C-alpha cells in the first residue's frame, strides 16, 4: 500500500501526497519526534504492510512512566507549527497489526491526540479485547463510535482521522475511518484543549495497574496530510 493513501479504501478512492510519513523505512525511529520507553520499540521486517520495515511496540509491566505510574510504550509525532492551530485541519492515518488479541482487562489505548505542555488528552482510541472505541474528551467525555469484535488479531487494520481544530466545541469536529469505512462523520467536539500545539502518540498505554501479559503491536504506514 502506498504511503500516500491516507485511507486505504475510502469510497472516494482519493489520495494526496503526505506532509509527513512514519513508515520505519529508515531502519530506525528517526521519522518520529520522540519515543516513550523506547527500549521496548524495535524495527522489524515481518510483518509489514508496505515497504520492508515496520515498528514493533511491546508493553511490559515494568514500562512505567515516571511520576504517574502509567504503563506506556509509544511513538510521538508533532505536526509542524500551525498545523494544529485554531481553524486548521489535519488528516492523519496509520495501520496496526496485533499478533494476539489485547487483554479485555485492563483496557489499552493505542492512539490519541494531546496538548503539548499542558498534556490534556482530547481524543483517543481504546481497545478492550477485540472491541474498539473512539472518544473525545472535551468539553466532556463522549464515545462517538464503538465496534465489537472489529480488532481481529493477525490482520492489518487502518485508522484515519480528519480533525478540524478548535477550542469551541461547536466549531471543532472529527471524521473517523476504520478499515476504509467511515464510522464517525463530523463528530462535534472541542478538539483543542487550549492554545498549545497538539501532538499524537501511537503505541500501547494502560493506566496504572499490574498485569502479566506483554502485548505486542506492529505499526506501519503512518501519514499526515492535507486531504484524503
Residue 4 lies in a domain: no
Assess if residue 143 is contained within a domain: yes
Give SS3 for 135: strand
219 and 42 Cβ atoms separated by less than 8 Å = no
Q: What is the pLDDT of residue 9?
A: 40
Judge whether 6 lies within some domain: no
Confidence at residue 228, expressed as pLDDT on a 0 to 100 scale: 76
Cell numbers standing for residue 115: 496538548
Query: For residue 72, which of 121, 117, 143 has the smallest C-alpha distance?
Result: 121
What pLDDT digit, counting tens, does each position of 124-157 carry?
999 999 999 999 999 999 999 999 999 999 999 9
Give mean pLDDT, residues 36-44. 98
User: Of 1, 30, 57, 99, which Cα lies nearest the Cα of 219?
Assistant: 57
pLDDT digits 0-9 by tens, 191-227: 999 999 999 999 999 999 999 999 999 999 999 999 8
Domain total of the chain:
1
pLDDT band at 5 (very low <50, low <70, confident <90, very high): low
Cell triple for residue 3? Answer: 504511503
User: Is the model's pLDDT at 4 over the cut of 50?
Assistant: no
- Domain with 82, as residue range(s), is 20-225
Question: Max CA-CA distance within the chain?
Answer: 46
For 175, residues 6+ apart whose C-beta sits below 8 A from its C-beta are 161, 162, 182, 184, 185, 186, 187
Asked whether residue 167 is domain-assigned, the answer is yes
- Return the DSSP state at 134: E
Total count of residues recorded for the chain: 228
pLDDT at 17: 76
Residue 14 lies in a domain: no
Strand runs (DSSP E) across the chain, as ranges?
20-22, 34-36, 41-44, 54-58, 71-77, 89-97, 108-115, 121-128, 131-136, 142-147, 156-164, 173-178, 181-188, 198-206, 216-225
Q: Are 38 and 30 in contact (CB under 8 A)?
A: no
* pLDDT above 90: residue 7: no
Beta bridge partners of 136: 123, 142
**Band of residue 16 on the pLDDT scale cut at 50, 70, 90:** low
The CATH number covering residue 141 comes to 2.60.120.200
pLDDT in tens, 86-123: 999 999 999 999 999 999 999 999 999 999 999 999 99
Per-residue pLDDT, averaged over 71-95, amounts to 98
> Residue 10: inside a domain, yes or no?
no
Is residue 11 in a domain? no
Could you tell me the pTM of the whole model? Answer: 0.93
Quick check: is 5 in a domain?
Answer: no
Parallel, antiparallel or unpaired: strands 89-97 and 216-225: antiparallel
Amino acid at each position: 500500500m502506498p504511503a500516500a493513501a491516507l485511507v486505504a479504501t475510502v469510497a472516494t478512492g482519493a489520495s494526496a501526497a503526505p506532509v509527513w510519513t512514519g513508515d520505519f523505512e529508515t531502519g530506525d525511529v528517526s521519522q518520529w519526534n520522540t519515543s516513550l520507553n523506547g527500549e521496548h520499540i524495535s524495527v522489524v521486517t515481518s510483518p509489514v504492510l508496505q515497504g520492508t520495515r515496520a515498528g514493533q511496540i511491546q508493553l511490559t509491566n515494568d514500562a512505567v512512566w515516571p511520576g504517574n505510574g502509567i504503563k506506556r510504550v509509544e511513538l510521538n509525532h508533532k505536526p509542524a507549527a500551525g498545523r494544529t492551530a485554531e481553524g486548521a485541519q489535519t488528516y492523519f492515518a496509520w495501520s496496526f497489526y496485533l499478533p494476539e488479541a489485547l487483554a479485555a482487562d485492563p483496557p489499552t489505548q493505542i492512539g490519541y491526540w494531546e496538548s503539548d505542555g499542558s498534556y490534556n488528552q482530547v481524543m483517543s482510541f481504546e481497545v478492550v479485547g477485540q472491541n474498539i472505541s473512539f472518544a473525545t474528551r472535551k468539553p466532556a467525555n463522549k464515545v462517538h463510535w464503538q465496534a465489537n469484535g472489529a480488532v481481529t488479531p493477525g490482520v492489518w487494520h487502518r485508522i484515519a482521522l480528519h480533525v478540524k481544530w478548535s477550542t469551541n466545541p461547536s466549531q471543532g469536529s472529527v471524521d473517523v475511518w476504520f478499515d476504509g469505512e467511515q464510522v464517525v462523520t463530523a463528530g462535534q467536539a472541542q478538539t483543542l484543549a487550549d492554545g498549545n500545539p497538539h501532538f499524537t502518540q501511537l503505541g500501547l498505554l494502560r493506566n496504572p495497574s499490574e498485569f502479566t501479559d506483554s502485548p505486542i503491536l506492529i505499526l506501519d504506514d503512518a501519514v499526515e496530510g492535507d486531504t484524503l
